Structure formats: structure tokens, C-alpha cells
Amino acid sequence: MKVEYLNPFLDASRSVIQELGLGRATVGKIEIAPNPHGSGGLLSMIGITGRLTGRVLYDMNESTAINIAGVMMGETLPELTQMARSAIGEFTNMISGNAATILKERGFAVDITPPTVITGGQMTLTDFGEMNVTLVVPLILNKGVVTVNLAIKEAHKHGG
Amino acid sequence: MADELALPKKPDGSNFKILIVDDSEFMIKNLERILTGMGADVLDSALDGLQAVEKYKKLMPNIDLVTLDITMPNMSGIDALAAIRSADPKARVVMVSALGHQDIVKTAILKGAKHFVVKPFKAEKVFEVLKLVLSKPA
């Protein structure tokens, strides 16, 4: 997987995080993993289609999800409510949508799917099809860590 | 909501009536709070494009504006825009989406969207766009 696919997600993350009043995000140690493990808190999965294909998974523990959703909702949340889960889904949708815009500007026309938010339990993120390399990128916020798991590649070119 | 973010009234003195379409319950609630605070009436909301078209047709002609997300299940916002404009060529639709590249904006405008707001947004941006769109005849 090329690093040029990752940078739009990092740029979009920093921009969205700041715009939402979540402060500044720094990037932790980037790793490559065949089957990364979810933190057991909340996962939001978004598919990438078009010139590039694959998926991006945003992984965070429950307390980070509660903190981020609380800022977005303008209230202190005692727990991860349905509305908070929806807020986190929208948070990841905004990052992915903004990343898709940057990718398009750099010559990679992609579309994104609506987010699927999953909560609870330790999960192993078994990859799909030919996608066997995932870039694991921790985004360190003052509200906690959001780990971006990115696995995308150029779509097969069909003749004609 | 500050007074300076108050939307104008309709010629009969009533509030403009809005349908919010987004697959995120959070975003619907957020937009509803912003729009209600500006003096608009949110008549209903829809979670996908199919629901949006169905609800728009039921609300016609008592609906003044639709805020429409693009990335949604069942029917995308772009397809819903085309269907709504086909049912009501005067429909005022403002796209509100995390996708904001030139091609998608151009496609939406060509299909009849009046304006485009990219997420994340500030309330002031929504106000500025809606004030502009609602100041023009449908």
C-alpha cells in the first residue's frame, strides 16, 4: 500500500479534529499489520470504492468515544449512548469524506460508504479478499487515541 | 442562537419549513437544533434517499427547503436530489455532505441543488447559505 494513500487521511483527520473543537492531533508510531486487533471499545468501518478500493477502520476505546462524542454533542456523557455512537459514526464519515476530496484532487477518484459502527468485545480485524496489509496509525488527541486502520489499493483496471 | 442568525420569515409572516435528510441521527439532531434556533420549522427528517423522496412528496407543497446528505444507504443524496427535483422542479435543495470535491459539487448543482455545505460546518455557514437560498424565489 502506498503512503500517498495515507496522507489524505492524516490531513483530513487533523483538519476535522480541529474544526470540531477537539484540539490538535499528533500521529503516533505507524505500523503495518496483517490482522490488527480492535481495542474492544468502538469501531467505525467505512468502505472505499472507485479508483482505489478497500476500507478504513477507526478504532478507539469506549472512554475516547465518549469524550469525542461529548464534545460534538456539547454535553458531558455518562455512557456511550445511541446518539453518541451516531456522533462517532459522523466523525469518521467527515474524516473519510474529506480524505476522499483530497484523494480526488490528487487524481484518485473515490467514493465512500456510510459508516458501520460496532461496539463491544475484543475483535481481530480479519482482512478482506486480497487486502493483506493494513497501515495502523494512532492519532493522539487530548481526548484519547483514535487508531486509523487503512487498507486500500488501486482497483483492478478492466479492459475497454 | 444569536439574533443575527435569525432567518427571514416567509411573505405571510410564517417560518420557513425544512426537511432534514441524513443517515446520521446525530447530524439530524445537530441540524435541527441549528435550524430551529434560526427560526425555521423542521417539519420532518429522513435517514436515506428513499425516505427523503417519499417524505418530500407527502409534504409538498408545504415544504420550503431540504438539507440533503450524499453518502446514505438505499438511495444516495444525488439520486434523491434528482427524484425530488423531478417531482417538484422548484424544490430548494441544499447539499450537506462530507464529500466536497469539485466534481460532486458540480454534479449536484447540475441536478438542481441550490447550494453545497461541506461537513464539518459551523452554524454561521449554514445560516449564510440558507439565508441566501431562501431569499431567492423557489
Domain boundaries in chain B? 14-134
For the segment B30-55, the average pLDDT, to the nearest whole number, is 98
B87 phi and psi, to 5 degrees? Answer: -75, -30
Q: How high is the mean pLDDT of chain B?
A: 96
In the predicted structure, residue A148 carries a pLDDT above the cut 90: yes
Q: Model confidence over A63-101: pLDDT tens digits? A: 999 999 999 999 999 999 999 999 999 999 999 999 999
Residues of chain A neighbouring B72 (CB-CB closer than 8 A): 114
Q: Model confidence over A97-145: pLDDT tens digits? A: 999 999 999 999 999 999 999 987 666 666 554 566 889 999 999 999 9
Contact B71 A97 (CB under 8 A): yes
The whole-number pLDDT of residue A125 equals 64
Best of A15, A68, A90, A94 to mutate (most B CBs within 10 Å, chain B): A90
Least Cα separation, residue B25 to chain A (angstroms): 6
ipTM score assigned to the predicted complex: 0.92
CATH of domain A3-154: 3.40.1550.10
* Helical (H) or strand (E) element with A27: strand A26-27
Domain boundaries in chain A? 3-154
Q: CA-nearest residue of chain B to A113?
A: B71
Tell me if the domain spanning B14-134 has CATH number 3.40.50.2300: yes
- Are residues A9 and A100 in contact, defined by beta-carbon separation less than 8 angstroms? no
Cross-strand partners of A110? A50
Contact B101 A105 (CB under 8 A): yes
Q: CA-nearest residue of chain B to A86?
A: B26
Q: Which of B73, B99, B103 sits opposite A97 (nearest CB)?
A: B99
Residues of B with a Cβ under 8 Å from any A Cβ are 23-27, 29-30, 71-73, 97-103, 118-120
Helix (H, G, I), strand (E, B) or coil at A15: helix
* Helical (H) or strand (E) element with A112: strand A110-112
A101 close to B (CB below 8 A): yes
Q: Model confidence over A10-42: pLDDT tens digits? A: 999 999 999 999 999 999 999 988 776 677 789
Q: Which of B24, B25, B101 sits opposite A93 (nearest CB)?
A: B24
Q: Which of B99, B100, B120 sits opposite A19 (nearest CB)?
A: B120
Cβ neighbours for B58, distance < 8 A, ≥ 6 positions apart: none
